[in-house]
Amino acid sequence: MSAKSEALFKIIVLGDPQVGKSELITKFTEKEFEEKHLPSVGVSILKTSVELRKYNTRVHLMFWDIAGQPQFYMIHRPYFSGADGMLLIFDLTRSSSFSNINNWYSSAVKYGLRDIPKILVGNKSHLTEERKIILPMAEHLSEKINALYYETSEVTGENVKEVFEKIAELVYEFKEQ
């Protein structure tokens, strides 16, 4: 059996303020949910590892949680630079956060990141009564930007592990081509 390999990848996490970007990362990396969270200023970086058993590889992921507030837009370029993968996150209960995914994706494309692996994430699936974005809308957008689509909840943990393991796998496969 060959020795296990390791890789380090930069994943940018994009979306409007308060869609749950930081909470999802925290839920995955620390297996917990924090009710009170301070907004990211500029960028927040968290690192974790994922075992890709089928490739006998440990992938180290550095999540660059990029601030969603408009006052930080002008300083995004260095944060996007060198990204290996991308998570585009919106809040299923806020239509504006869904519409703005197009702007976030356009920024990534502007910085040369059109072809990197990406996942579109509709967060806060536990708020079923407040839901504004229906599945066909999200699926249409995911096809348009060539991304897989998942719905998650940072509260219940629904699909959180799956999203992070899938982005690790997609980036690894993309880099190994």
Q: In whole angstroms, what is the distance from residue 95 CA to residue 131 CA? A: 9
| First-to-final CA distance of the chain | 22
CATH number at residue 98: 3.40.50.300
Q: Tens digits of per-residue pLDDT, 43-92?
A: 678 888 999 999 999 999 999 887 655 544 455 567 888 999 999 999 99
Q: In whole angstroms, what is the distance from residue 92 CA to residue 98 CA? A: 7
Q: Tens digits of per-residue pLDDT, 104-162?
A: 999 899 989 999 999 999 999 999 999 999 999 999 999 999 999 999 999 999 999 99
Domain range for 46 is: 5-176
The number of domains in the chain is 1
